[in-house]
Amino acid sequence: MGSMRQGRLQVIIHHSSFIMLTAALLLSACGFQLRGTAQLPFSTIYVQAPPTSQFATQVRRAVQAGSSTRLASAPEQAEVLLQILNEAQEKQILSLSGGGRVSEYLLRYRVFFRLTDSKNREHIPASEIVQQRDFSYSDDQALAKESEEAQLYRDMRNDAVRQLVRRLQAAKLPS
């Protein structure tokens, strides 16, 4: 009886191994890559932004951790220059309650950037990434809603960083 259970267990293990192997082959065949690995078409980059820019800090981390591209410490040492031209957080009233109090906001996060090379040729002209989220609000939960708003802005900034990295991957540099 023990050897029969062991035989069934081996068949189940072999069956699940087969399924995992098949899934891995299918994913690799369709070009699937784990998030975080970016093949950027340049070897060095300088990120020019205000020193307090959290967006620029996250972009630097994403480039460092997720690609073989090196961060240059000065613009003249880099193959390309990524300029973060402007970053903005906006808040717009979407709806009011019957008593005239705000019940919903539209939160928007914008980043303007451009990518040039050492000869000042534009590879990505001045462009904008926009993220937005609807946000319900209640005066009764002001502290919790303030925390939720901050989290939504962080999420939008993270999404904007990922979108920028994808745009950098698609940049065409002359050979």
175 in a structural domain: no
Same domain, 89 and 112: yes
Burial of 44 (0-12, 13-18, 19+ CB in 10 A): middle
Residues 69 and 20 in one domain: no
Domain co-membership, 64 together with 77: yes
Residue 108: its pLDDT value, please? 98
Shared-domain flag, residues 139 and 58 = yes
**What DSSP character marks residue 72?**
P
Q: How many CB atoms within 10 Å of residue 145?
A: 16
Res 40: pLDDT: 92
Residues 48 and 27 in one domain: no
The radius of gyration of the chain's CA atoms, rounded to the nearest angstrom, is: 24
- What's the CATH number where 140 sits? 3.30.160.150
In a domain, 11, yes or no: yes
What is the per-residue pLDDT for 29?
Answer: 45
Q: Report the pLDDT value the prediction gives residue 131, as an integer from 0 to 100.
A: 98
> Both 81 and 10 in a single domain?
no
Instruction: Tell me if 150 is assigned to some domain.
Output: yes
Domain that holds residue 143: 36-170
Question: pLDDT (tens digit, 0 to 9) for every residue of the chain, 175 residues total?
Answer: 555 555 554 545 555 555 554 555 444 444 434 455 668 999 999 999 999 999 999 999 999 998 899 999 999 999 999 999 999 999 999 999 888 899 999 999 999 999 999 889 999 999 999 999 999 998 889 889 999 999 999 999 999 999 999 999 999 877 6
Give me the pLDDT at residue 98, please: 87
3-state secondary structure of 2: helix
Q: What b-and-e string marks burial along 104-134, b requiring 16 or more CB atoms within 10 Å of the CB?
A: ebebbbbbebbbbbeeeeebbeeeebebeee
Domain count, the chain: 2
* Statement to judge: residues 87 and 160 lie in one domain: yes
Q: Is 56 inside a domain boundary?
A: yes
Strand boundaries in the chain, DSSP class E: 44-48, 70-71, 80-96, 102-117, 122-136
Does 75 map to a domain? yes
What was the pLDDT predicted at 32?
39
